[in-house]
Structure 1
Amino acid sequence: MPSTEKLLHFLSSSLICAAGVCLLGFGMSTDWAAADMTCGPIETEEFNGSSSLEIGLFNGTEFKINCPRISKLGIKVPVFDRLGKIAGAPIILHALVVILLGLALLGSAGSILVSLYNSFSNPYQTYMGPIGVYTCSGLSVCLASLALILYVANAFLGQMFETLVKADEAKVTLKDVKITLKVGFFLLIPYICFNMVSILMVYLYVHTAYTRRKEQEKPTEDAPKEIMMY
């Protein structure tokens, strides 16, 4: 039967990891970024219109004023459908972000299950032991970090917002794009931190148990050879 100390460490690890999953799940359902830009007809250089977007990973909203000659307020933006109309880096990078986040959630789920299993059993040093928590949570940290980097690159360098606007109105010229990252994106950071803390909780138990075991073995190792002969 696992000790109380082990129970507390592994249960804490699973609860912290579960909190991270809840954060990321909420983050994936809310807005990730917003953008404001000026626009005008492609055949002229008159930029007297504007377009504003607020998007999540799957859906968003657009507000157009004279962009280029029409105004529409509160247009629903299906992100994948619009990006798919203009094939290129934006749709590929956005799809990669969503896939990486899905795999990160899967890794966190694995870490929760392994931590709970260790709370009530003793698989010791098998893949279902602490190494399973390190692997699953570590994988989630790496995948979520990569998704964070790819999203920033897509938004600021990959012209994702320009693509979303032009997919709905091709004959438009855009400039002065101002992008603001929103709560969904920033929730990736505590999610990554929670997974790192879940690893730390298990590591602290393993380190403490290893130190205690070495201390218990030390008197036998230091005993005089004459005594050990009897």
Structure 2
Amino acid sequence: MPSTKKILHFMSSALVTAISVGLLGFSMSTQWSTTTLECSRPGSGVFNGSAVVKLDLFSGNVERTSCPSFGGVDAFDVFPKLVEAGGAPVILYGLVLGLLALCLLFSACSILISLYNSVSNPYETYMGPVGMYACSSLSACVAVVALILYVLNLFTTAMAEDLVRSFAENIPAEIKNKSTQMDLGFYLLIPYIVLSLVAIALIYLYDHAAYTHRREQQRPTEDAPKEIMMY
């Protein structure tokens, strides 16, 4: 049976990881970004229209005002809509979704390993602290990559412009002055990353203390006092 200290450390790690999974789940269900664009008909030179693209991970809407003619609010499923346009945006977006799914998988594995260690004493294998380190560190690293790819998709591709044009009623539109802000869903990945690292720190503190204790018990005989050596 594990010691009370080990149970507390591994249970705390599992709890912290579970909280991070809750944050990630909420993040994936709420808004990630808002992009505002100016719009006009080709050749008119007067950009008196506008469009606002609001994106969750799986759904979104485009609010158009005179862009390029009439306005309206159009809701859509993000990934299928990007598939219609094709190109780099759909590839990057697919990677983001895949990476976030991996985050959930790695976090789930981290929770299971932590709970297993809190009720048993496994050897130093993938079911011990090593496995927990691997899963939680992968969760944090993959989440960072997902954040970077999402930002790149918004700022370096024409994803928002393509979405607006797809609802422009087959009327060509000129679009400029794109302005993007990140929303709650995006920023919630930051505490998810931090909590994944906190989970690692909790196990490391226990593992380091246990290693130090084992070293003290296995101290070479030359370090023993001379009085003990005489016996």
Length-normalised TM-score, structure 2:
0.94
Q: Which residue of 1 aligns with 2:91?
A: 92
Give the Å deviation of 1:219. Answer: 7.1
SS at match of 2:144: helix
Are 1:59 and 2:73 matched, yes or no?
A: no
Q: Is the 8 A contact 1:111 1:136 kept in 2?
A: yes
SS at match of 1:110: helix
SS at match of 1:15: helix
Are 1:32 and 2:32 matched, yes or no?
A: yes
Q: Is the 8 A contact 1:39 1:173 kept in 2?
A: yes
Q: Which residue of 2 aligns with 1:3?
A: 3
Taking the aligned partners of 1:42 and 1:198, their CA distance within structure 2 comes to 55
Deviates further, 217-226 or 149-158: 217-226
Unpaired runs of at least 5, structure 2 = none
Taking the aligned partners of 2:82 and 2:65, their CA distance within structure 1 comes to 21
Give the Å deviation of 1:42. Answer: 2.6
Taking the aligned partners of 1:89 and 1:32, their CA distance within structure 2 comes to 19
**Residue type of the partner of 2:191?**
P
Give the Å deviation of 1:225. Answer: 7.8
Deviation string for 1:128-157 (max 9, x for gaps)? 000010111111111111000000111111
Deviates further, 56-65 or 2-11: 56-65
Q: Which residue of 2 aligns with 1:108?
A: 107
Are 1:215 and 2:216 matched, yes or no?
A: yes
Aligned length: 229
Deviation string for 1:92-126 (max 9, x for gaps)? 10110000000111000000000000000010301
Q: Which residue of 2 aligns with 1:72?
A: 72
Q: Is the 8 A contact 1:55 1:79 kept in 2?
A: yes
- Compared with structure 1, are the counterparts of its residues 71 and 224 closer, same or farther at alpha carbon in structure 2 (3 Å cutoff)? closer
Taking the aligned partners of 2:132 and 2:161, their CA distance within structure 1 comes to 41
Are 1:144 and 2:143 matched, yes or no?
A: yes
Taking the aligned partners of 1:152 and 1:60, their CA distance within structure 2 comes to 17
Q: Is the 8 A contact 1:36 1:178 kept in 2?
A: yes
Unpaired runs of at least 5, structure 1 = none
Q: Aligned-residue CA RMSD in angstroms?
A: 1.7
**Residue type of the partner of 1:16?**
V
Deviates further, 79-88 or 149-158: 79-88
Taking the aligned partners of 1:15 and 1:83, their CA distance within structure 2 comes to 37
Give the Å deviation of 1:185. Answer: 0.2
SS at match of 2:28: helix
SS at match of 1:126: coil
Q: Which residue of 2 aligns with 1:184?
A: 185
Deviates further, 158-167 or 50-59: 158-167
Taking the aligned partners of 1:217 and 1:135, their CA distance within structure 2 comes to 28
SS at match of 2:135: helix
Taking the aligned partners of 2:225 and 2:56, their CA distance within structure 1 comes to 70
Give the Å deviation of 1:43. Answer: 4.3
**Residue type of the partner of 1:207?**
H
Deviation string for 1:32-89 (max 9, x for gaps)? 000111101134322111101211111012211111001103x213211221121111
Q: Is the 8 A contact 1:55 1:61 kept in 2?
A: yes
Length-normalised TM-score, structure 1:
0.94
